[in-house]
Amino acid sequence: MPRVLLFSRQPLTSRPLQEWLDETADSVVLITTPKAVAEAEEILATHFPRHRLVEDYHSWATEQAAEEAAREHGAELVASTSESDVLRAARLRARLGAPGQSVESATAYRDKLVMKRTARAAGLRVPSFAAVEGPMDLLDFIDAEGFPVVIKPRTGAAAQGVSILRSPADVTAFLEGGRESAVSHVPGQWMVESFARGDLFHVDGIMRDGRIVHSWPCEYTGGLAERVIDGAPLGSVLLERDDARTEVLRQFAADVVAALPAAPDPLAFHLEAWIDPDGEPVMCEIASRAGGALIAEVYERAFGVQLAKEGLRAQCGSDLTLDHQPAAPAGLLGWLLLPAGHGTFVPPAESCPVPGVELEVKLAAGTRRDGVEHATDAAAEALVHAGTAEEVRKRMAEVTKWWHANTAWQ
């Protein structure tokens, strides 16, 4: 097996890389953090003896440490497990002369401004947008497009840093919040776009060399940015095979993947798009990694392949488990994230009584929280099964009602 330099800050206790990679794990040079290997020191020593622990994972020094480790151990491939590592992995490939997703492709899948410029140039529908290099760019866009607008970090994820500006007061609040923002208010970091109206969907699957190997769409129960702002539940439901929107969205995903610079080897992808009131798809964004929350778990139940695992194994040189498009999912299901509230958590006293629901409480009793921190942040997660998509939605609503009636934030 080829030697692989792998960026991963995911805890080994919850993402068992040694099981995902099986015989490939012995050839991995792992770049990770002390926090990620806590309570998994034996796994680290046994399966990843060639590793580097970095304290500040997001610092530029991590890339330097990764290159040093790659050259020391003769790494032939570079892989990553998180969106924040997509571009740094591509840059290291360029430095090493390694195959895989290029810097050009990684940038298009990571930088939302580049992404939307590329999609628009290919004739695909996107909201009106502009780069925000300073406050006047934002004000000019609002003058031209009107309220509401959405301002977001160009390389953000999970709706972190996203704001919906509906009034001049919202603009002032955003401009005054630069010191508290996780993303600096400096040129090259921000973009603004018009507020899209329509139902929001995601399409997930595996792509290779500018084409989709397999994919399937789901309908979100709400907006990601709205979830962070309002602290609302979030989930999605697999579309049925005969739903007219299924083929519309799968074709749109294929068009987006064909428009962006191709990655030669298989990668997982996660596309978000609206269907507007006229029934036309409009691109929100796309990433060259598996979707978050329980998206990969739902896909695995439906098609027998875990997208995060499949995408990582492919980056490490393994063959695809699923190399064709299934006709339909094995069953109808969805996922649901129930939000953290404000105060001290008092969990339900009994298990969820709604049929077809697998619910896991993620917070311990007594945990203090101050609302939702990012789009995939949850106090509890649920997988919901039923015979039809509509029944899945009904059960999700029942779970949400039960959760609010049986939990407290004191």
What per-residue confidence (pLDDT) applies to 161?
Answer: 85
What per-residue confidence (pLDDT) applies to 377?
Answer: 86
The domain 199-409: what is its CATH number? 3.30.470.20
* Domain-wise residue ranges, the chain: 4-99, 128-194, 199-409
The answer to whether 365 and 373 have CB atoms below 8 angstroms apart is no
For residue 62 the two structure tokens come to: 């991590």
Q: CA-CA distance, 186 to 177, in Å (whole number)?
A: 13
What per-residue confidence (pLDDT) applies to 228?
Answer: 66
The answer to whether 4 and 317 have CB atoms below 8 angstroms apart is yes
| Amino acid code (one letter) for 209 | D
- The helix or strand, by DSSP H or E, that contains position 396, with its residue range, turns out to be helix 389-406
The answer to whether 386 and 211 have CB atoms below 8 angstroms apart is no
For residue 219 the two structure tokens come to: 């309908």
Q: Which residues of the chain have pLDDT under 50?
A: none
Q: Reduce the DSSP state of residue 9 to 3 states and report it.
A: coil
Q: 409 forms bridges with which residues in the sheet? A: 345
What per-residue confidence (pLDDT) applies to 408?
Answer: 96
> ω before 49 within 30° of 0 (cis)?
no
Instruction: For the chain, state the CA radius of gyration.
Output: 21
What per-residue confidence (pLDDT) applies to 372?
Answer: 84
* Residue 123 DSSP code: T
What per-residue confidence (pLDDT) applies to 302?
Answer: 97
Strand positions, DSSP E, 33-167: 51-53, 77-80, 129-132, 149-153, 163-165
**215: closest CA among 110, 297, 329, 126?**
329
Q: Which fold has domain 4-99?
A: Rossmann fold (3.40.50)
Q: What is the largest CA-CA distance in the chain?
A: 60
Q: CA-CA distance, 207 to 214, in Å (whole number)?
A: 7
**208: closest CA among 286, 287, 264, 289?**
264
Q: CA-CA distance, 159 to 377, in Å (whole number)?
A: 11
Q: Which CATH number fits domain 128-194: 3.90.1150.10, 3.40.50.720, 1.10.287.3510, 3.30.1490.20?
A: 3.30.1490.20
For residue 141 the two structure tokens come to: 């866009």
Looking up tokens 């699957």, which residue turns up?
Answer: 205
Q: CA-CA distance, 205 to 222, in Å (whole number)?
A: 21
Q: Reduce the DSSP state of residue 138 to 3 states and report it.
A: helix
What per-residue confidence (pLDDT) applies to 227?
Answer: 64
What per-residue confidence (pLDDT) applies to 117?
Answer: 98
